[in-house]
């Protein structure tokens, strides 16, 4: 008994001696990649002896908690993990401490993706700029959609991996045998960039866009363009001709569920869902799912949207906590940590890990499409009004998918509502002429 | 108070000094006793309402981590007139409340009258009927989401056993709101039942006995005696349930999140999203004020009906 007590005391003392930083709490989202993040936090604690608590919340709840934290006297969280649609709100509002203000020597490792330079913020110009911008955050997860397809069914039906949307539709129709299996399943529910994020590969892949050149300060709404209309018409057609019977209510969790239970032959969802496909405890299709870049319209290129997560440090935090948070972020971006992160099933944020020999392992078949996608993936919103714009975007797309609005009416209404939001906030905006309804 | 001074020959309105002093002391004492509850009312109800009202006429932005309130005039309210989501949410909430509350009251009344006629096992039935109301909303949402699941839910499995095709109750725009009404009926009928059952148990038996001797049928006894006697309680239940139904949130949030399209969007959900997701505090506050006024109007109308009924 005494020996046990002595051992426990020794363990406690050694941890306390080893720990260089005070304990910190990270506000983290309940997402498909959370398992890997949890693993890497454990690794950090083992490596350094520092203590990290994770406060995990669902998507909507997390944002509300983080807003409350940075607007209060002192943040209970040392690191906020936030999705990219909220980054301008956090940067421009002065809610995050620039990382170089905490540690002037800190630099983002050159192997770490900067994701359309969304880790930088220039307070003078109010834009995300590498030159003249300040490092505000470290990427935590590269959330990019890729095409998931049943390689066994493709082989059985001698189908080519689709490069274009027409090929995707043809494959989906071939594989569609409801209710046993759906040819293609879409995430059609609405929120703030649920269906919107699902639709963006189509919008970009048809050559359309939501806003003008935001990085140059042009916030003209171009969503109601003929190209966007073609994209939405195709999106609705794909759903009705080869998809789930009620696509407007399908959530991301349900898309993943349909894939792992073999109910979906194909889907385009976040690469982070891949970890569940080969998990024998969760999946009935182990080893049967393959991955590819998202298709595009003939004559266009594949351009998936970024939906990555960033880690930042609140402004309202004691200096020792900020230093402890920096220690975690600095460790997190190392090659070793990122390799462990990838092995645990979470997409890494380093180029050298994504293109390492690990990518040759069929179990990590998502790595190459992800690395290729990241070369031309882009950020949908560079404005603090992103949550409002995303809500409007989702609502109107969802109404079009549910049959409440025609695609043209949905795009016109969304464009007008977006222009209104941007105008009220003083952005240089405008709108295209209405599409014919 | 005025008869006592007359009795001792003093002019009306003039009290002896001692009585006046005692009266003002009583006054102070009364106000002193009321002070804690008044402070609570002001602190917990009036101040938040005032803050909400101020917010509804403002725009909130953040600079250097500090809020900046600028006057928006009536813009936040004017915008609601063109806000298709808010208008849809008002319409859906009214439809939901009307459908759910009327079904719940009818079912609750039928159950209360039926149990009133039962001679044995009343405690068992009462406990059994009460079970759904004891469950938290989050559990109810999870249970019904699983039950409605078109792939493995018990609802479609039962339909399948009867040879009927499976149906996506929550995903289909035609049935989503109805499916949520059904969950609400399951959840809240016990509340109506409980209040109405208490009223049924307190009905005077001799009146029913006299009517029966006079040859009144069971329907006539129900229609001409029970229902008029139960009317005040029915109105109270109606008012309570209408208020609660207007504030529905958890069932909708968990089952459909307002979709597909806008078919199940309700006021509380729109306000929640506007405040906490989109971070438009001014617009959210304006919605809250409008919802508060609508709810206030419903409550006042119900109270007026109850008073009229009682006056008769």
Distance CA B60, CA B54 (A): 11
Q: How many domains does chain B have?
A: 2
Residue A64 to residue B171, Cβ atoms within 8 A: no
Looking at the predicted structure, is the pLDDT value of residue B86 above 60? yes
Looking at the structure, do residues B189 and B97 belong to the same domain, yes or no? yes
Answer yes or no: do B35 and B119 share one domain.
Answer: no
Two structure tokens written together for A426: 């003083």
The SS3 call for residue A430 is: strand
What is the model's pTM? 0.88
Strand-strand pairing, A52-57 and A24-29: parallel
pLDDT tens per residue across span A192-247: 899 999 999 999 999 999 999 998 999 999 999 999 999 999 999 999 999 998 89
Cα atoms found within 13 Å of the Cα of residue B156, Cβ hemisphere only: 17
- Per the listing, tokens 């309202």 go with A316
Q: Is A94–B64 a contact, with Cβ atoms under 8 angstroms apart?
A: yes
* Residues with Cβ within 8 Å of residue B50, at least 6 apart in sequence: none
- pLDDT at position A3, please? 60
Residue-wise pLDDT tens digits, A174-199:
999 998 999 999 999 998 899 999 99
Residue B70 resides in a domain: no
Average pLDDT over residues A107-136: 94
CATH number of the domain to which B287 belongs: 1.10.3720.10
Q: Are A4 and A10 in contact (CB under 8 A)?
A: no
Among the partner residues B59, B85, B256, nearest to A249 by beta-carbon distance? B256
Burial class from Cβ neighbours inside 10 Å (0-12, 13-18, 19+) for residue B95 reads: middle
Provide the domain limits for residue B245. 76-311
Torsion of Cα atoms, A142 then A145 then A146 then A148, to 10°: 120
How close is the nearest chain A Cα to the Cα of B66, in Å? 7
Residue B7: the pLDDT is 45
| Pair A252, A191: CB distance under 8 Å | no
pLDDT at A136 over 60: yes
Domains of chain A in sequence order: 19-142+308-372 (3.40.190.10), 145-305+380-431 (3.40.190.10)
What pLDDT is attached to residue A404?
Answer: 94
Question: Is B21 found in the same domain as B116?
Answer: no
Same domain, B52 and B141: no
Residues B144 and B34 grouped into a single domain: no
Inform me whether the pLDDT recorded for B4 exceeds 50: no
The verdict on B8 and B149 lying in the same domain is no
In this structure, the answer to whether residues B30 and B138 fall within a common structural domain is no
The pLDDT of residue A85 is above 90:
no
* Residues in chain B, overall count: 312
Residue B69 in any domain: the answer is no
Instruction: Establish if B70 touches chain A: CB-CB under 8 angstroms.
Output: no
Residue B66 maps to a domain: no
Query: B45: pLDDT confidence band, cut at 50, 70 and 90?
Result: confident
B83 plus B10 within the same structural domain: no
Q: With CB atoms and an 8 Å threshold, state whether A192 touches B279.
A: no
Are B196 and B302 in a shared domain?
yes
- Is B167:B149 a contact under the CB 8 Å cutoff? no
Examine the domain organization and report whether B47 and B191 are in the same domain: no
For residue B11, being part of any structural domain is answered with yes
Asked whether residue B47 falls in the same domain as residue B89, the answer is no
pLDDT of residue B67: 93
Neighbouring-strand partners of residue B223: none
Contacts of B276 (CB under 8 A, 6+ apart): A60, A63, A64, A67
Is B89 inside a domain boundary?
yes
Asked whether residue B68 is assigned to any structural domain, the reply reads: no
Q: Write out chain A residues lying below 8 Å of B179, CB-based.
A: none
Residue A1 has pLDDT above 60, yes or no: no
């Amino acid at each position: 008994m005494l020996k046990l007590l002595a051992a426990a005391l020794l363990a406690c003392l050694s941890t306390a001696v080893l720990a260089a930083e005070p304990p910190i709490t990270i506000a983290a989202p309940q997402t498909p990649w959370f398992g890997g993040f949890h693993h890497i936090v454990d690794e950090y604690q083992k490596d350094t002896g520092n203590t990290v608590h994770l406060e995990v919340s669902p998507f909507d709840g997390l944002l509300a908690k983080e807003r409350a934290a940075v607007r209060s006297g002192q943040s209970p969280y040392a690191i906020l993990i936030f999705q990219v649609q909220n980054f301008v709100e956090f940067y421009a509002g002065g809610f995050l401490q620039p990382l170089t203000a905490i540690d002037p020597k800190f630099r983002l490792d050159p192997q770490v993706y900067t994701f359309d330079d969304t880790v930088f913020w220039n307070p003078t110009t109010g834009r995300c700029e590498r030159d003249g911008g300040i490092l505000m955050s470290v990427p935590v997860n590269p959330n990019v959609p890729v095409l998931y397809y049943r390689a066994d069914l493709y082989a059985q039906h001698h189908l080519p991996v689709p490069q274009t949307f027409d090929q995707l539709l043809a494959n989906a129709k071939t594989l569609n045998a409801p209710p046993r299996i759906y040819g293609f399943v879409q995430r059609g529910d609405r929120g703030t960039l649920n269906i919107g994020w699902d639709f963006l590969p189509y919008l970009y892949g048809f050559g359309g866009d939501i806003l003008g050149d935001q990085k140059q300060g042009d916030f003209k709404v171009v969503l109601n363009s003929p190209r966007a209309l073609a994209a939405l018409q195709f999106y609705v057609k794909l759903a009705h001709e080869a998809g789930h019977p009620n696509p407007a209510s399908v959530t991301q969790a349900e898309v993943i569920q349909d894939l792992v239970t073999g109910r979906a032959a194909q889907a385009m969802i976040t690469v982070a869902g891949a970890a569940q496909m080969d998990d024998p405890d969760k999946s009935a299709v182990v080893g049967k799912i393959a991955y590819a870049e998202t298709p595009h319209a003939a004559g266009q290129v594949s351009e998936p949207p970024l939906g990555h997560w960033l880690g930042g440090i609140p402004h309202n935090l004691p200096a020792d906590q900020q230093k402890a948070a920096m220690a975690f972020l600095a460790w997190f971006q190392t090659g070793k940590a990122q390799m462990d992160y990838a092995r645990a099933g979470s997409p890494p944020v380093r180029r050298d890990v994504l293109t390492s020999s690990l990518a040759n392992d069929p179990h990590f078949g998502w790595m190459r499409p992800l690395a290729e996608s990241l070369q031309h993936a882009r950020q949908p919103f560079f404005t603090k009004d992103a949550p409002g714009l995303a809500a409007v975007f989702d609502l109107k797309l969802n109404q079009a998918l549910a049959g409440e609005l025609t695609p043209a009416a949905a795009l016109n209404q969304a464009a007008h509502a977006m222009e209104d939001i941007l105008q009220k906030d003083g952005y240089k905006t405008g709108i295209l002429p209405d599409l014919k309804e | 108070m005025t008869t006592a001074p007359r009795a001792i020959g003093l002019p009306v309105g003039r009290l002896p000094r001692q009585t006046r002093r005692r009266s003002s002391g009583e006054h102070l004492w009364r106000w002193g006793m009321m002070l804690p509850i008044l402070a609570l009312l002001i602190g917990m109800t009036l101040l938040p309402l005032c803050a909400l009202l101020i917010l509804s006429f403002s725009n909130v932005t953040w600079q250097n981590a500090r809020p900046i309130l600028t006057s928006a005039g009536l813009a936040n309210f004017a915008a609601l007139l063109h806000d298709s989501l808010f208008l849809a949410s008002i319409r859906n909430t009214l439809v939901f409340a009307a459908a759910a509350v009327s079904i719940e009251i009818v079912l609750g009344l039928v159950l209360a009258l039926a149990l009133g006629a039962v001679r044995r096992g009343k405690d068992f039935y009462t406990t059994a009927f009460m079970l759904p109301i004891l469950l938290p909303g989050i559990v109810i949402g999870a249970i019904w989401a699983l039950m409605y699941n078109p792939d493995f839910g018990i609802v479609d499995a039962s339909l399948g056993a009867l040879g009927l095709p499976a149906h996506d109750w929550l995903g289909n725009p035609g049935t989503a709101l109805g499916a949520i009404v059904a969950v609400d009926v399951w959840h809240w009928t016990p509340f109506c039942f409980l209040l109405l059952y208490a009223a049924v148990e307190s009905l005077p038996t001799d009146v029913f006995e006299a009517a029966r001797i006079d040859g009144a049928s069971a329907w006539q006894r129900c229609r001409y005696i029970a229902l008029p006697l139960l009317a005040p309680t029915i109105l109270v239940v109606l008012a309570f349930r209408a208020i609660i139904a207007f504030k529905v949130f958890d069932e909708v949030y968990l089952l459909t999140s307002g979709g597909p399209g806008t078919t199940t969007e309700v006021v509380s959900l729109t306000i929640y999203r506007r405040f906490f997701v989109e971070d438009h505090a001014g617009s959210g506050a304006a919605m809250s004020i409008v919802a508060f006024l609508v709810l206030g109007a419903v409550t006042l109308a119900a109270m007026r009906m109850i008073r009229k009924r009682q006056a008769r």
